[in-house]
Amino acid sequence: MKKKKINSNNLLLLITIVLFFVMYAAGCIVYADKGFTRFQTFLNILINNAGLICITAGMTCVMLTGGIDISVGSLVAMDCMILAVGIEQWGWSSPVLMLLILAIGIIFGIVQGFCISYLEIQPFIVTMAGMFFARGLTALISSDMISIENPTFLSLANYRIYFGFITYYNNRGVAMHPYIYLSVVIALLVVAISFVILRYTKFGRAVFAVGGNEQSALLMGLNPKVTKLKVYVLNGFLASLAGFAFCLNSCGGFVEQARGFEMDAIAAAVIGGTLLTGGVGTVVGSLFGSLIKGIIETIITFQGTLSSWWTRIVIALLLCFFVILQSVFKSIREKRLAQGNEK
């Protein structure tokens, strides 16, 4: 029984992790002379994808129940615009605005989760309405690009956490220490807490049960509607937290910000081993899925002559590959179940 579980549920995760290390090793070999091997290069991948990692953690929880949420990118854009306009034009403090956007994310999750779980409207339709609403509201707040110049916020955004025990030398021979920003700390904490919730709590077990088979979950005494509602509330909260992390990197807000973020999150979750049908997945795999996207972008940047659109092409190919793998594993699992029932 244990062997079967490892083969069906964890093999996709293993493939994702191996793929990440293979791509990273390839980058280190090919672009070693350009500084790809520096630890800071890896940390830059985390820095550039901190917001995506937060969103992917929430998206993984939603997909585990068999749902989807395509509104998170627009919610991030709205959060960034509220932060930018609130700080620069309304004169509000950063902590108050952060609490405001987190509250907005929770409200988003409650409304969408209620429509999906209790009114039984398709998640795609509900979250598409949420996407249009958030993007439109972002434009109503301001159609201009607003840069945050507040010294307090900029000091928070530019605060570096150094790894003083690691030293490397730049092209001028100056000793440097690798560093990360606060956004990376937020992203990694989100992954760690989400992992603990899904693996070690009653709520996490309910999420997997509902995604695996809703009827079986009912027979187990679980309430799928309540579980789905909680998942979308959690996802809305994490999406707004991702908006804050994203704003720490961009230090501004504009209408087209984070466009396509929801698709990147879905792709990262699928590449990380989360089944589109629900019931199987892990935020650790989604983390590596996000990092794979970052590795591809970094390799293209170091190459220097390729268009950034190659990132989309490679991600599309990987997505198709992992969807096919999911289909193959599902067929194998169904055949084994059928053989077991015959015996």
Residue pLDDT tens, the chain, 343 long: 444 445 556 788 888 999 999 999 999 999 988 889 889 999 999 999 999 999 999 999 999 999 999 999 999 999 999 999 999 999 899 899 999 999 999 999 999 999 999 999 999 999 999 999 999 999 999 999 999 999 999 999 999 999 988 887 777 777 888 999 999 999 999 999 999 999 999 999 999 999 988 888 888 889 999 999 999 999 999 999 999 999 999 999 999 999 889 999 999 999 998 988 888 889 999 999 999 999 999 999 888 888 888 888 999 999 898 888 888 877 777 777 666 666 5
pTM: predicted TM-score of the whole model, two decimal places = 0.91
pLDDT, residue 4, reads 44
User: Helix, strand or coil for residue 143?
Assistant: coil
pLDDT, residue 337, reads 64
pLDDT, residue 341, reads 62
pLDDT, residue 158, reads 93
Structure tokens at 82: 């509220």
Assess contact for 102 and 108: CB atoms under 8 A. no
Assess contact for 108 and 130: CB atoms under 8 A. yes
pLDDT, residue 342, reads 61
The one-character DSSP state at 87 is I
Assess contact for 93 and 151: CB atoms under 8 A. no
Distance, in Å, from the CA atom of 322 to the CA atom of 60, rounded to the nearest integer, reads 15
Count the residues in the chain.
343
Distance, in Å, from the CA atom of 183 to the CA atom of 47, rounded to the nearest integer, reads 7
List all residues 6 or more positions away from 213 whose beta carbon is below 8 Å from its beta carbon: 279
Distance, in Å, from the CA atom of 134 to the CA atom of 143, rounded to the nearest integer, reads 13
Assess contact for 16 and 293: CB atoms under 8 A. no
